[in-house]
């Protein structure tokens, strides 16, 4: 899959590794970063020679457009190591295509495929000791692009920086997740940027999520901006409902992020003959199913947590507690996905990508 292009990446190695100071048994998500980072600038209409340099602060002018107009997109992906020390990623082609889809929507120039894959490979070769063996142990990778041109006129920049930073991660356990179905605020709208992994989409959810937290809920499940009657996604995860034995999730549109985990769950549902429907899901039907005892599960799906079961939801002051299941779909999909990711199971769809 890697283009065997001949250009070189300049590598400046860190003088010392920080790895011995890191407690891998007590990692908080996204707080510790590895020794190196990938950097590539866009200047004069083209992406310049990529570099890998020691991880550290950037020097960027305060007038850089990213600070004023939020011209920024990102990705989230993971690297895994098997018992023999081989390193894998999970469907990275999807992330590559998506960052460029996100970039196009924010008027950011697309990043070349061979730079992306060769950058990842070179970086992971350098940081391989940071990837630990074991189910759930990963190196989280955060590619992102920011507008760096120092000029505060409101128009697309002509200078950008593409970077990849890496953070070791333990299995993500969010605890008991209670969610609120959105009734007033919206994450995205028709014709907007909801489908893009745009930095600003996250900033816009923080305030309503803080309000939900004050009411005792951890996250908001976003509903359609027009009517607030249809359930869309969790804002960092796509969302699935299990009514009796049928798995339900909303169709993709320009308000919902097209998640790699979501599409993998749907494929696994197909593979294992689990009934599934991709269609608009109303708040009303989910509340009815909860009242009748037919709603068995709700879970989120996204790279960071893989699958995140939801314990309860609230809407219009009605609170519903979900049953605790022995053989949940959530644990089934999590097990299947993580085993494929860690090279512990067959991979019939070729999702695993050997670095």
Binding site for ligand PLP (CB under 6 A): 76, 197, 233, 235-238, 257, 259-262, 301-303
Q: What angle do CA 153, 154, 156 make, to 5 degrees?
A: 105
In sequence order, which residues have a C-beta less than 8 Å from that of residue 85 and are 6 or more positions away? 128, 133
Q: Which of 337, 355, 341, 348 is nearest to 301 (CA)?
A: 337
Euclidean distance between CA atoms 347 and 207, whole angstroms: 41
Question: Minimum CB separation from ligand PLP for residue 182, in Å?
Answer: 13
Which of residues 148 and 238 has its CB atom nearest to ligand PLP in the complex? Answer: 238
Cβ distance to ligand PLP smaller for residue 32 or 305: 305
SS3 266: helix
Distance in angstroms (rounded) separating the CA atoms of residues 76 and 96: 10
| Residue closer to ligand PLP (CB basis): 197 or 228 | 197
Residue 127 has which token pair?
């940081």
| Shortest CB 60 distance to ligand PLP, Å | 24
Considering the complex, state which of residue 111 and residue 290 has its C-beta at the smaller distance from ligand PLP: 111
Antiparallel, parallel or unpaired: β 276-278 and 295-302: unpaired
CB of 261 vs ligand PLP, minimal distance in Å: 3
- CB nearer to ligand PLP: give 50 or 70: 70
Distance (Å, whole) CA 95 – CA 165: 15
Residue 83, token pair as written in the block: 């018992």
Nearest Cα to Cα of residue 268 among 296, 249, 281: 249
> Is 66 or 305 the residue whose CB approaches ligand PLP more closely?
305
CB of 76 to ligand PLP, least distance (A): 5
CB of residue 232 to ligand PLP, shortest distance in Å = 10
Q: Are 255 and 274 in contact (CB under 8 A)?
A: no
Closest approach of ligand PLP to the CB of residue 339, in Å: 17
Residues in the chain: 355
Beta carbon nearer to ligand PLP, 100 or 303: 303
Provide CB contacts within 8 A for 343, sequence distance 6+. Answer: 80, 82, 86, 88, 352
Nearer of residues 7 and 207 to ligand PLP, judged by Cβ: 207
Write down the least CB distance from residue 262 to ligand PLP, Å. 6
37 touches 165 (CB < 8 A): yes
Compute the least distance from the CB of residue 65 to ligand PLP, in Å. 22
Query: Which letter does DSSP use for residue 150 in this model?
Result: B
The residue (of 119 and 259) whose beta carbon lies closer to ligand PLP is: 259
Q: Least distance to ligand PLP from the beta carbon of 4, Å?
A: 27
User: Which one, of 303, 297, 298, lies nearest residue 337 by Cα?
Assistant: 303
The rounded distance, in Å, linking the Cα atoms of 246 and 251 is 15
Tokens 């190695």 identify what position? 13
């Amino acid at each position: 899959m890697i283009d065997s292009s001949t250009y070189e990446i300049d590598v400046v190695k860190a003088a010392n590794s920080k790895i011995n100071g890191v407690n891998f048994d007590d990692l908080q998500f996204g707080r510790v970063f590895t020794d190196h980072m990938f950097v590539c600038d866009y200047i004069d209409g083209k992406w310049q020679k990529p570099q890998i340099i020691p991880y550290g602060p950037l020097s960027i002018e305060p007038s850089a457009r990213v600070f004023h107009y939020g011209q920024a997109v990102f990705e989230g992906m993971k690297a895994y190591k098997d018992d023999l020390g081989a390193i894998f990623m999970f469907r990275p082609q999807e992330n590559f295509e998506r960052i460029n889809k996100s970039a196009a929507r924010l008027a950011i120039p697309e990043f070349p495929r061979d730079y992306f894959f060769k950058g990842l490979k070179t970086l992971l070769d350098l940081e391989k000791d940071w990837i630990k063996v074991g189910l759930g142990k990963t190196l989280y990778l955060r590619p992102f692009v920011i507008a760096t041109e120092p000029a505060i006129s409101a128009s697309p920049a002509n200078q950008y920086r593409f970077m990849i930073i890496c953070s070791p991660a333990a299995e993500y356990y969010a605890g008991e997740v209670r969610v609120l179905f959105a009734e007033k605020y919206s994450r995205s709208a028709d014709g907007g940027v909801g489908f893009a992994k745009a930095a600003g989409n996250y900033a816009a959810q923080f305030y309503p999520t803080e309000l939900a937290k004050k009411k005792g809920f951890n996250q908001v499940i976003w509903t359609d901006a027009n009517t607030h009657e249809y359930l869309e996604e969790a804002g960092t995860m796509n969302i699935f409902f299990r009514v009796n034995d049928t798995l339900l999730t909303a169709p993709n549109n320009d308000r919902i992020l097209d998640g790699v985990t979501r599409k993998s769950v749907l494929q696994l549902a197909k593979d294992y003959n689990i009934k599934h429907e991709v269609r608009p899901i109303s708040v009303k039907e989910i509340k009815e199913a909860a009242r009748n005892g037919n709603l068995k599960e709700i879970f989120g799906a996204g790279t960071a947590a893989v699958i995140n079961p939801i314990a309860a939801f609230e809407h219009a002051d009605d609170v519903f507690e979900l049953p605790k299941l022995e053989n949940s779909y959530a644990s089934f999909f999590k097990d299947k996905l993580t085993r494929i990711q860690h090279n512990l199971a067959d991979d019939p769809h070729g999702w695993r990508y050997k670095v």
